[in-house]
A and B are shown apart, each in its own frame.
Chain A
Amino acid sequence: MSAQTARIRFESLRRSPGRRHALVYVTLSLLVVVFGIGSVSFPGFASGQVALNLLVDNAYLIVLAVGMTFVILSGGLDLSVGAVVGLTTVTAAALLRAHWDPTVVILIVLASGAALGLIVGLVIHFFDIQPFVATLIAMFFARGLCYVISPDSVSISNPFFTTMAQTHIPVGPRLTINPSVIIALIAVAAGFVVLQYTRTGRTVYAIGNGGESARLMGLPVVRTRILVYAVSGFCAALAGVLFTFYTLSGYSLTGVGMELDAIAAVVIGGTVLTGGSGYVLGSVLGVLVLGTVNTIISFNGTLSSWWTKIIAGALLLLFVLLQRLVIGRARR
């Protein structure tokens, strides 16, 4: 045990602030380069509205990435988020079709997302199941529930949801955002404050750097480890609500593979995959990089939308390799 502790200390020394920020700077430069490529290739790309649309089109992914940042910082991984997004859209659409009140519907889906995450966290902690196995099972479970609730796409015509989808909030001359962006930015701010300025946040980092030493320091490891998955489940459900605002429908195949986008955004944003180092704001940058790539693909018009998945995978791989170079061999 002492050898391990010494190794962790050694690694935290190696992760001096300069190195920790290095990955975020790489992401920032990547964002500038990718946006630059888009601006040079397509006339009209370098406009304020295209930049704001990055937020509008990816509000759900930003929220998803906030939750995933918590999990990855603690050294875990949540594979269930895409399926929870799907489940949320289908549940919301089905309940709205049955004429439930939109506020109640939103509260129900948010609570179920958080509850599913909580159960996953409890199972991981108390029964010592590896995080990926538990979240993988949750993923299949949630996806199955989607089909059970409705195999077909259900459209939403509820006035509150359509208002949320169609409202444009002016933020400058001929520049608008929508309510989803504001919700996403609130989620980012909340995640940032919790991780940087609260005991819970510091405990998340401590667990990621070595659960045993965090426990020996007297930090509430058990509670925080479980909380992290509840946060991720809640964020996934919130992302699902935003996605429903975006598409105005619920479909059982929504969000297939979205977990890759979320993990990719977090890792591109400089959070180390083995936990303990990273920033929520970096994850937002990661989402913007992916969003810019998607925008370039849609501006191009001839490229298949499948390229977005391939590029997300390639970028994830690139940053995993970069992390190995910058930080050295991670703990396993």
Chain B
Amino acid sequence: MRRLLGIRLIWPIVILVGLLVLNVIIEPSFFTVRVQDGHLFGSLIDILRNGSPTLLVALGMTLVIATRGIDLSVGAIVAIAGAVACSILAASPNPGSVSTVIGAVAAAIGVALVLGAWNGMLVAVVGVQPIVATLILMTAGRGVAMLITQGQIITVSSAPYKVIGAGYWIGLPASILIAAVMFALAAVFTRKTALGMLIESVGVNPEASRLAGVPVRAIVWSAYLFSALCAGVAGIMISSNVTAADSNNAGLWIELDAILAVVIGGTSFTGGRYSLAGTLVGAFIIQTLTTTAYTIGVTPGVMLVFKAIVVATVCLLQSPAFRATALRLLRSLRRKPVAEGGVAS
């Protein structure tokens, strides 16, 4: 199993290393990490920090896709979580106090969990297709975020809140540490217990799993809950990093980045096989790609087209039908020279 995982991860890692090398060629000081005021600085640290929200959202998305679902609503949940936290902070008389910040963060995470429970209920209990169930929240959710912020961008000035997305703990950006802890927890819970296997069995065949006594509903439901939790934390990070809640733009297209990270990491849309390590590498590929693009001067629009093409390619490569066609083409190409050689000899 371990060897198989290694083989599956080899291509994403090669891409990541290639991108990093490309960056060093463009900007020789790319790998330099300085220590300033006891904090680490440098391009790599920036990639880690800016990649944290994407990593979190992709982490939740991995488990949802593993159950053969999809969560399109993560971008809207990012916006709502940021809106809730910032509105509470902005309305509070003392936004700088740690207890107020803890209250605001808890409220935002609570709201995100409610939204996740809502998605999970629609998919697991009512039986709505995941794409439709989460599409409702994807579009209506931005409306909800707009209602919370009353159509405005709410800015907050709260030192403790800013730490979450832009500050440092023990020398490292706080957002990386939060993402790392959540990632480690997810890895331990799904790989060191039977949970991961149960999730995969649900993804392979929900009906057979149910007959075998797997609590399918509970597992699917918790996948959506976890995805929303991750999106909520990512939303708090994003709004904290820019010290504002922008209901229109916070988390816009983050579902694309997350899906991209997940498929690059080798998790299949057909469910049943997932790789958290792959998602980790995938998320950093996306963030490095974005950073590289900005360094070269590629506009965000071109980036979106490029990412769409990458997802399309990876999806095609995952498709057995496409691989069969491609293999047949390759073989017929290879056979021709052999046949000609035979004639020549």
Is B139 touching A306 in the complex (CB atoms < 8 A)?
Answer: no
Stretch at the interface among A17-25, A210-218, A242-250, A313-321: A313-321
* Chain A interface residue bracket vs B: 35 or more
The residues in A between 288 and 328 inclusive whose CB is less than 8 angstroms from any CB of B are 304, 306-310, 312-314, 316-317, 320-321, 324
Stretch at the interface among A5-13, A133-141, A162-170: A133-141
Give A317 to B129 CA distance when docked, in angstroms: 11
Q: Which residue of A lies closest to B270 (CB)?
A: A130
Residues of chain B contacted by A257 (CB below 8 angstroms) = 138-139, 142
A326–chain B nearest beta-carbon distance, Å: 14
The residues in B between 271 and 300 inclusive whose CB is less than 8 angstroms from any CB of A are 299-300
A129 at the interface (CB under 8 A from B): yes
Residues of chain A contacted by B147 (CB below 8 angstroms) = 304, 306-307, 310
B308 at the interface (CB under 8 A from A): yes
Is B135 touching A151 in the complex (CB atoms < 8 A)?
Answer: no
**Known: A313-B137, A316-B136. Contact between A148 and B305, CB under 8 A?**
yes
Give A273 to B132 CA distance when docked, in angstroms: 9
Is B269 touching A260 in the complex (CB atoms < 8 A)?
Answer: no
A174 at the interface (CB under 8 A from B): no
Is B144 touching A140 in the complex (CB atoms < 8 A)?
Answer: no
**Known: A257-B142, A306-B146, A310-B144. Contact between A141 and B319, CB under 8 A?**
no
B167 at the interface (CB under 8 A from A): no
Residues of chain B contacted by A317 (CB below 8 angstroms) = 122, 128, 136
Give A251 to B300 CA distance when docked, in angstroms: 16
Partner of A140, one of B126, B131, B253, B321: B253
Give A308 to B302 CA distance when docked, in angstroms: 31
**Known: A144-B302, A320-B128. Contact between A79 and B321, CB under 8 A?**
no
B301 at the interface (CB under 8 A from A): yes
A126 at the interface (CB under 8 A from B): yes
B126–chain A nearest beta-carbon distance, Å: 7
Stretch at the interface among B7-15, B90-98, B309-317: B309-317
Q: Which residue of A lies closest to B319 (CB)?
A: A127
B87–chain A nearest beta-carbon distance, Å: 15
Residues of chain A contacted by B270 (CB below 8 angstroms) = 130
The residues in B between 95 and 144 inclusive whose CB is less than 8 angstroms from any CB of A are 122, 126-129, 131-132, 135-140, 142-144
Give A128 to B315 CA distance when docked, in angstroms: 10
A192 at the interface (CB under 8 A from B): no
Is A129 touching B316 in the complex (CB atoms < 8 A)?
Answer: yes
Give A276 to B262 CA distance when docked, in angstroms: 33
Give A315 to B138 CA distance when docked, in angstroms: 15
Is B140 touching A310 in the complex (CB atoms < 8 A)?
Answer: yes
Is B269 touching A306 in the complex (CB atoms < 8 A)?
Answer: no
A84 at the interface (CB under 8 A from B): no
Residues of chain A contacted by B132 (CB below 8 angstroms) = 77, 263, 273, 316, 320
A161 at the interface (CB under 8 A from B): no
Partner of A309, one of B143, B259, B315: B143
B237 at the interface (CB under 8 A from A): no
Residues of chain B contacted by A133 (CB below 8 angstroms) = 269, 315
Residues of chain A contacted by B337 (CB below 8 angstroms) = none
Is A314 touching B302 in the complex (CB atoms < 8 A)?
Answer: no
Residues of chain A contacted by B253 (CB below 8 angstroms) = 140
B23–chain A nearest beta-carbon distance, Å: 23
**Known: A140-B253, A147-B300. Contact between A309 and B316, CB under 8 A?**
no
Residues of chain A contacted by B303 (CB below 8 angstroms) = 144
Give A198 to B174 CA distance when docked, in angstroms: 63
Interface size on B, residues (CB 8 A): 47
A329 at the interface (CB under 8 A from B): yes
- Bitwise, B243-273 to A at CB < 8 A (1) or not (0) is 0000000000100100100000000011000
Residues of chain A contacted by B72 (CB below 8 angstroms) = 136
Residues of chain B contacted by A263 (CB below 8 angstroms) = 132, 135
A146–chain B nearest beta-carbon distance, Å: 7
Is A140 touching B127 in the complex (CB atoms < 8 A)?
Answer: no
Residues of chain B contacted by A99 (CB below 8 angstroms) = none
B73–chain A nearest beta-carbon distance, Å: 11
B255–chain A nearest beta-carbon distance, Å: 9
Give A308 to B321 CA distance when docked, in angstroms: 41
Give A260 to B147 CA distance when docked, in angstroms: 19
Is A127 touching B316 in the complex (CB atoms < 8 A)?
Answer: yes
Is B320 touching A128 in the complex (CB atoms < 8 A)?
Answer: yes
Residues of chain A contacted by B142 (CB below 8 angstroms) = 257, 306, 309
**Known: A130-B269, A313-B137. Contact between A144 and B143, CB under 8 A?**
no
B304 at the interface (CB under 8 A from A): yes
Q: Which residue of B lies closest to A307 (CB)?
A: B143
**Known: A140-B253, A306-B146. Contact between A127 and B321, CB under 8 A?**
yes
Residues of chain B contacted by A308 (CB below 8 angstroms) = 143
Give A45 to B140 CA distance when docked, in angstroms: 26
B217 at the interface (CB under 8 A from A): no
A143 at the interface (CB under 8 A from B): yes
B151 at the interface (CB under 8 A from A): yes
Name the 10 nearest CB pairs between A and B, nearest first: A147-B301, A144-B304, A313-B140, A144-B305, A306-B143, A141-B308, A257-B139, A309-B143, A260-B139, A140-B308
Some 30 contacts from A to B, beta carbons below 8 A apart, are A77-B129, A126-B321, A127-B316, A127-B321, A127-B322, A127-B325, A128-B322, A129-B315, A132-B131, A136-B72, A140-B308, A141-B305, A141-B312, A144-B301, A144-B307, A145-B301, A147-B302, A147-B304, A148-B299, A148-B302, A148-B305, A257-B138, A273-B128, A309-B140, A309-B143, A312-B140, A313-B139, A320-B132, A324-B126, A329-B127
Residue positions of A touching B, CB distance < 8 A: 77, 79, 123, 126-130, 132-134, 136-138, 140-141, 143-148, 151, 252, 257, 259-260, 263, 273-274, 304, 306-310, 312-314, 316-317, 320-321, 324, 329-330, 332
Given contacts A151-B301, A310-B143, A332-B127, 11 further A-B contacts (CB under 8 A): A144-B308, A146-B301, A148-B299, A148-B302, A148-B305, A151-B299, A252-B301, A259-B139, A260-B138, A321-B126, A324-B127
Residue positions of B touching A, CB distance < 8 A: 70, 72, 122, 126-129, 131-132, 135-140, 142-144, 146-147, 150-151, 253, 256, 259, 269-270, 299-309, 311-312, 315-316, 319-322, 325
